[in-house]
Amino acid sequence: MTAAGFPSRLLRSISGCLCVLVFLHGADQPCKGDDAVDRTVRQSLDYLSTLQKRQGYWEANQGQYRVAMTALAGTAMLAEGSTTTTGRYSKQIRLAVDYLVSMSRPNGLIGYREDYHYTYGHGYSMVFLSQVFGEEEDAQRREELRNVLTKSVQFCADAQTSRGGWGYVSAAEGNDFDEGSTCITQVQGLRACRNAGIPVSREIIDRAKTYIEECTTQEGGVQYSIRGGGARAPITAAALAAMFNAGEYDTELTRRMREFCRRNVWPEKDVESSNGFWHYMHFYFAQVMYRTGGEDWARYSAEVNDKLIREMQSGGGWADAQVGTVYVTSLNCILLQLDKGFLPIYQR
């Protein structure tokens, strides 16, 4: 359900009818958006569907990050407008939901200890399953998802470190170690759950916001961890998106972070200046720019879209030597579909 109380599927139908009316009344452009972007996304999601395992999961290089890759690929397909029951990728989404629900442990972890850096998968799974939960019409399945998500929130609370962050594993297993990127996935996952109606303690989010603030340098860059490590543009962009998710849009802290991103992510740094973390960085920075809207979003999205369209592989998707093609293809497909507005967690 949306905040207004209407099912998202109904609102999509209304939106579609409005598009038809606008077109019939002589609009210059149809409401479907840029054809090149649509073709790129369709090819890439079709390619992703061929990489899904029979058991419902996707995986990164060397079979790692199964839970994280499944949640990200499933989210990319939800962003297209498909659900567990309708749309081009309904079967793939259903299988992904089944797999992740089966990965829910008694302590609330969505995943398993042997899966590399399992808190990533836990956070991304909360995002994916909470979006599915908002659309689920079957009462029994809805209650099952509610239970999984409720336990997942509790796991987050238990896994949070004494400083308010998260590490690659829970605080108890990781000797209270924490770092920025896993903290960000938990904040977005918690916010997605809260948006879906799952109770989330404000204290957990407030402690996480304090952690991010204490990781931020005077210049606005966010360091690898609270212990230091130097300001990093990818983590800063991700942290800024997480602060937006936490309701912090225009504070002294976010203004410093935005200024740092202006110098180190865009526009002073051209989107063509790629590095190993480019896709991660722009996945989150695009969320910031989309929520900002206006001419900056129009210009930024045009530049990023053009780059991604040019760099897509001939059969769909994007290559990545470090984590793998499932990872970057999922991130890029979500980024390219932000304008569709199908996922509440990424909406303005």
Q: Is the pLDDT of residue 21 over 90?
A: no
Q: What value does the CA radius of gyration of the chain take, rounded to a whole number of Å? A: 19
- Using alpha carbons, select from 198, 220, 113 the residue that is nearest to residue 154: 198
Alpha carbon distance 290, 82 (integer Å): 21
d(CA 84, CA 37): 24
89 touches 95 (CB < 8 A) = no
Q: Which residue has the higher pLDDT, 11 or 154?
A: 154
d(CA 160, CA 234): 22
Q: Taking 80 as the threshold, does the pLDDT of residue 25 lie above it?
A: no
DSSP assignment of 195-243: HTT----HHHHHHHHHHHHHHB-TTSPBEEETTEEEE-HHHHHHHHHHH
The per-residue pLDDT for 234 is 97
Expressed in angstroms, the distance from the first to the final Cα of the chain is 16
What pLDDT, on a 0 to 100 scale, did the predictor assign at position 348? Answer: 86
pTM: 0.91
Q: Give the model confidence (pLDDT) of 213-258 as tens digits.
A: 999 999 999 999 998 889 999 999 999 999 999 999 999 999 999 9
DSSP 256: H
pLDDT digits (tens, 9 = 90+) for 68-118: 999 999 999 999 999 999 999 999 999 999 999 999 999 999 999 899 899
Angle between helices 66-79 and 90-102 (to 10 degrees): 150
Peptide bond into 267 cis (omega under 30): yes
> pLDDT tens digit string along 299-335?
999 999 999 999 999 999 999 999 999 999 999 999 9
Task: Provide the pLDDT for residue 318.
Answer: 98
Percent of the chain with pLDDT over 70: 91
Which residue shows structure tokens 């579909």?
Answer: 337
Residue range 165-189: mean pLDDT, rounded: 96
Confidence band for 275, pLDDT divided at 50, 70 and 90? confident
pLDDT at site 6: 42
Please determine, for residue 64, whether its predicted confidence score (pLDDT) is greater than 90. yes
Q: Say what the pLDDT of residue 15 is.
A: 42
Average pLDDT, rounded, for the chain:
91
Q: What is the pLDDT of residues 276-297, one digit of tens each?
A: 799 999 999 999 999 999 999 9
Which residues, listed in sequence order, are joined to residue 144 by a DSSP beta bridge?
none
